[in-house]
């Protein structure tokens, strides 16, 4: 057991009076003490824990403790990044991989020269961390989190039966409440994709967009925790995430910066993300800072801030997504910004960015948002639907916001809010909502478009249907016929569009694709069943508040 090795390094700054030199002599003093009784491992038992070969040719391996593998900071930690390929296996008996430090894959570089020197230029050229289906990775404390640096890749491919879980030790130990957050940091994935925090020449449409020295400091990162993202390769691959669940995240890593469930910084389109869930996160569920990674089948449950947050020119898509807020906490289902640092830019700079085509241009289809019209609670802003602003050109199809399960608390629980440059985008047709239904007591927020049209009128005339809600209305067939959008138990399944009821009538129009809008339908494959946590009976810590 070397786990208690305590080292106190001592620095000596000595100066010979006549020599005139500053002498640096750090020395390492081993002050290790281990008072724990001998829980020596049985000899010769095979160690299933992850291992890698150090640069010195030594095998570094985690240590088996009961069913779990323990990885001390000398295995990996901030400043002791994983720089070679490694596989984290699925452990028997639901054992977890417990990390006592951070897990950073690859090194970060903040100059072009640094990247070139390391042979990392376009992505996919760094170390690979592979996580086997069924594995659980757990982190112990607030300062510990995961970074997948530019060039490095994370292959975490689970299955419906064997999803991969990233969570806290408190969750593994069963001492965490269903809605507890800030139990550990979260995940940061960085790529070489396009972010409008950097300066580019050329344009997206001409296909000649290039940049140099694009190194955006990722959120909450200083000192050994720092990392950078950004570049001009929107086709970058940061790996593959399938059937992955990220839980109880959001601890503060540095000054006031809390981590999201997963932050995608400039992550490229060749990254495959399919069946991803975030559960009980303090900050946002997923936040994309530029890049073009796309998501198929996303679930956000009990996200306290924004379940989907878009910034800095993300141009990927989300297909099939289910967002369920907590009854009392949670802000937007979507908060979507077009241009980073928008509030300090002149309108000329904003238009130049749009002209280059590097403002956010996402496509979102089949999203169901079940939001709680709660008042602001503690530190969190009121539950609301979609906030589209700062020059985002978004296309949202076949989706709905249901904010009527509870009493409306104030006029901040809007379904739709369009702000500043995005109003012009709406007027110009650069922002479009097609076959979407809004069921909130406060339909919209914000002033009119530049041409004077009210946001609600614009939306209604361009593919959105607003339900009339007085205070609240159960949108299931169990209650009444005026509003019927969702059905079954739990009521997260969309009713077929042609049989939906809004203000007692079938909503106008039809889905862009298929026969229903929203995430799930009882008539279709239930892609969320079997692997997600917290929604369906049998695999959750509490029942849903709107059942």
Partner 1 sequence: MKPREPSAGAAVWTIAAAMFAGIAGAQDAVDTNEEAEGGSPTDRSTVSAGPIEEVVVLGRLINSTQQLINERQDDEVVSDVMGSEMISRLGDATVAVALRRIPGLSLVNEKFIYVRGLGERYSSTLLNGATIPSPDLTRNVIPVDIFPTSIVSSLRVQKAYSADMPAAFGGGAVDIRTKGIPSGFTYAIEVGSGYNFENDGDAYSYPGGGSDRWGTDNGSRALSPQLESEIGRFLGNLDVQGILDRLRKEGNHDATIEDARRINRELALHLNRNVSVAEESIHPDLDLKASIGNNVMLGDDWEVGFLFGAGYKTTWRENERLSRNFNFPDERTDTKLESTYTVDITGTANFGLSYLGEHEVTTTSLFLRNTDDETTIRDFFNENREISDEIGFRNYSVLFEERELIVHQVKGTHRFGDLTRELPVVGWFDRSWIPLDAEVSWFHSDTVVQTDIPNQVTVKAQTVTAPTTGEVLSSVINADASTSDFRFTLLDDDVLNYGWRFNIPVSTTNWFLEASGGYEHARKARTYRQSQFRLGAFSVADPRILEGSIGEVFSDASIMDPANDFVFDRTGTNNQSYLAATMTEAVFGKVDVTWKEVWRLAAGARWEDYKQVALDWNPYGFTITDPVVTTDPERLEQSTFAQDNIYPSVSLTWIAPFGQWEWAERFQLRFGWSETVVRPDLREITDASYIDPITDDLVDGNPSVIPSDVANYDIRAEMFFTNGDNLTVSAFYKDIVNPIEFFESAASDTTVAREIVNATSAQVSGVEVEALKELSFLSGLLGDWINMFFVQANLTLQDSELVAGEKADAPTNDVRPLVGASEYVANAMLGFDSDDGRHTATVVYNVFGERLYVAGRLGAPDGYEQPYHSLDFTYSWFPTEAITVKAKLRNILDGTVEIEREGVVVFSEQPGSSASISFKWAY
Residue among 53, 116, 349, 498 that touches partner 1 (CB under 8 A): 349
Q: Among the candidate windows 165-173, 358-366, 422-430, 518-526, which touches partner 1 by CB under 8 A? A: 165-173
**Contacting partner 1 within 446-475 (CB under 8 A):** none
* Cα–Cα distance measured from residue 308 to residue 337, given in angstroms and rounded to the nearest whole number: 11
**Contacting partner 1 within 375-434 (CB under 8 A):** 376, 378-379, 381, 389, 412, 420
Cα angle at 273 between 303 and 515, to 5 degrees?
A: 80
**Residues 35-44: contacts with CB within 8 Å, 24+ apart?**
36/1, 36/4, 39/1, 39/65, 40/1
* Cα distances (Å, whole numbers) of residue 134 to 51, 242, 432: 18, 11, 40
Cβ 295 to partner 1 shortest distance, Å? 19
Residue among 53, 116, 222, 529 that touches partner 1 (CB under 8 A): 222
Considering the complex, state which of residue 247 and residue 389 has its C-beta at the smaller distance from partner 1.
389
Considering the complex, state which of residue 109 and residue 546 has its C-beta at the smaller distance from partner 1.
109
* Cα–Cα distance measured from residue 400 to residue 179, given in angstroms and rounded to the nearest whole number: 24
Cβ 492 to partner 1 shortest distance, Å? 26
**Contacting partner 1 within 77-96 (CB under 8 A):** 77-80
Cβ 167 to partner 1 shortest distance, Å? 12
Helix (H) or strand (E) holding 324: strand 317-324
* Cα–Cα distance measured from residue 74 to residue 446, given in angstroms and rounded to the nearest whole number: 53
Q: 24 phi and psi, to 5 degrees?
A: -105, 120
* Cα–Cα distance measured from residue 240 to residue 480, given in angstroms and rounded to the nearest whole number: 44
Considering the complex, state which of residue 7 and residue 529 has its C-beta at the smaller distance from partner 1.
7
Cα dihedral 96/100/101/102 (nearest 10):
20
Considering the complex, state which of residue 6 and residue 53 has its C-beta at the smaller distance from partner 1.
6
Strand pairing partners for 172?
Answer: none
Considering the complex, state which of residue 198 and residue 324 has its C-beta at the smaller distance from partner 1.
198
Q: Examine residue 214 and tell whether it contacts partner 1 (CB under 8 A).
A: yes
Three-state SS at 311: strand
The candidate with the shortest Cα–Cα distance to 483, out of 495, 497, 500, is: 500
Cβ 475 to partner 1 shortest distance, Å? 26
Considering the complex, state which of residue 73 and residue 463 has its C-beta at the smaller distance from partner 1.
73
Considering the complex, state which of residue 75 and residue 393 has its C-beta at the smaller distance from partner 1.
75
* Cα–Cα distance measured from residue 229 to residue 288, given in angstroms and rounded to the nearest whole number: 11
Q: Report CA torsion sign: 190, 196, 201, 204.
A: positive
* Helical ranges in 144-230 per DSSP H: 169-172
Cβ 364 to partner 1 shortest distance, Å? 21
Residue pair 271/244 in contact (Cβ under 8 Å)? The answer is: no
Residue among 181, 276, 321, 544 that touches partner 1 (CB under 8 A): 181
Q: Examine residue 9 and tell whether it contacts partner 1 (CB under 8 A).
A: yes
Residue among 346, 429, 461, 538 that touches partner 1 (CB under 8 A): 346
**Contacting partner 1 within 312-341 (CB under 8 A):** 312, 331, 340-341
* Cα–Cα distance measured from residue 416 to residue 2, given in angstroms and rounded to the nearest whole number: 56
**Contacting partner 1 within 257-286 (CB under 8 A):** 257-258, 263, 265, 282
Q: 177 phi and psi, to 5 degrees?
A: -80, 160
Q: Examine residue 223 and tell whether it contacts partner 1 (CB under 8 A).
A: yes
Cβ 20 to partner 1 shortest distance, Å? 5
Q: Examine residue 58 and tell whether it contacts partner 1 (CB under 8 A).
A: no
Considering the complex, state which of residue 107 and residue 274 has its C-beta at the smaller distance from partner 1.
107
Residue 7's CB is within 10 A of a number of other CB atoms, namely 11
Q: Examine residue 251 and tell whether it contacts partner 1 (CB under 8 A).
A: yes
Considering the complex, state which of residue 310 and residue 364 has its C-beta at the smaller distance from partner 1.
310
Cβ 195 to partner 1 shortest distance, Å? 8
Cβ 144 to partner 1 shortest distance, Å? 9
Considering the complex, state which of residue 180 and residue 327 has its C-beta at the smaller distance from partner 1.
180
Q: Examine residue 348 and tell whether it contacts partner 1 (CB under 8 A).
A: yes
Residue pair 336/394 in contact (Cβ under 8 Å)? The answer is: yes
* Cα–Cα distance measured from residue 528 to residue 526, given in angstroms and rounded to the nearest whole number: 5
| Number of residues located near partner 1, criterion CB under 8 A | 101
Q: Examine residue 224 and tell whether it contacts partner 1 (CB under 8 A).
A: yes
Q: How far apart are the first and last CA of the chain?
A: 50
**Contacting partner 1 within 37-56 (CB under 8 A):** 37
Residue among 123, 126, 186, 230 that touches partner 1 (CB under 8 A): 230
Q: Examine residue 115 and tell whether it contacts partner 1 (CB under 8 A).
A: no
């Amino acid at each position: 057991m070397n786990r208690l090795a305590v080292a106190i390094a001592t620095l000596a700054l000595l100066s010979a009076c006549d020599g005139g030199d500053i002498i640096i002599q750090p020395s390492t003093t081993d002050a290790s003490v281990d008072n724990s009784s001998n829980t020596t491992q049985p000899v010769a038992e095979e160690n299933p824990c992850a291992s890698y070969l150090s640069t010195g040719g030594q095998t570094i391996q985690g240590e088996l403790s009961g069913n779990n593998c323990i990885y001390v900071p000398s295995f990996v930690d901030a400043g002791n990044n994983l720089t070679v390929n490694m596989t984290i296996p699925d452990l028997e008996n639901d054992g977890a991989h417990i990390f006592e430090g951070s897990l950073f894959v690859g090194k970060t570089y903040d100059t072009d020269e640094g990247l070139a020197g390391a042979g990392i230029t376009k992505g996919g050229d760094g170390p690979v961390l592979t996580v086997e289906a069924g594995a659980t990775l757990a982190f112990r404390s607030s300062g510990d989190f995961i970074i997948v640096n530019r060039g490095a890749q994370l292959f975490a491919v689970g299955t419906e039966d064997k999803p991969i879980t990233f969570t806290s030790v408190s969750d593994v130990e069963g001492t965490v409440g269903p809605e507890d957050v800030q139990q550990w940091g979260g995940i940061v994935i960085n790529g070489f994709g396009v972010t409008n925090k950097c300066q580019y020449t050329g344009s997206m449409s001409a296909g000649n967009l290039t940049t140099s020295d694009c190194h955006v400091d990722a959120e909450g990162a200083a000192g050994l925790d720092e990392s950078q993202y950004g570049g001009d390769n929107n086709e970058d691959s940061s790996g593959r995430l399938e059937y992955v669940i990220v839980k109880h995240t959001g601890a503060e890593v540095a000054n006031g910066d809390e981590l999201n469930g997963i932050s995608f910084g400039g992550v490229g389109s060749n990254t495959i993300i399919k069946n991803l869930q975030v559960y009980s996160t303090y900050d946002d569920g997923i936040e994309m800072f530029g890049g073009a990674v796309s998501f198929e089948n996303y679930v956000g449950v009990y996200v306290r801030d924004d379940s989907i947050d878009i910034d800095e020119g993300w141009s990927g898509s989300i297909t099939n997504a289910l967002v369920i807020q907590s009854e009392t906490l949670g802000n937007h289902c979507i908060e979507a910004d077009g241009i980073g640092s928008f509030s300090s830019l002149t309108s000329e700079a904003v238009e130049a960015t749009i002209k280059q085509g590097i403002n956010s241009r996402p496509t979102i289809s089949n999203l169901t948002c079940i939001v709680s019209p709660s008042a602001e609670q503690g530190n969190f802003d009121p539950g609301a639907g979609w906030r589209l602003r700062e020059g985002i050109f978004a296309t949202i199809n076949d989706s709905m916001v249901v904010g009527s399960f509870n009493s409306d608390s104030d006029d901040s629980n809007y379904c739709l809010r369009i702000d500043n440059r995005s109003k012009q985008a709406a007027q110009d047709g650069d922002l479009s909502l097609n076959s979407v239904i809004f069921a909130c007591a406060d339909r919209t927020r914000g002033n009119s478009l530049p041409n004077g049209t009210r946001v609600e009128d614009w939306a209604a005339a361009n593919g959105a249907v607003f339900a009339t809600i007085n205070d609240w209305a159960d949108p299931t067939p169990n209650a009444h016929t005026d509003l019927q959008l969702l059905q079954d138990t739990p009521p997260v399944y969309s009713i077929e569009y042609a049989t939906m009821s809004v203000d007692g009538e079938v909503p106008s129009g039809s889905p862009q694709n298929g026969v229903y809008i929203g995430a799930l339908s009882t008539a279709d494959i239930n892609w969320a069943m079997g692997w997600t946590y917290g929604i369906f009976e049998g695999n959750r810590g509490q029942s849903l508040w709107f059942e």
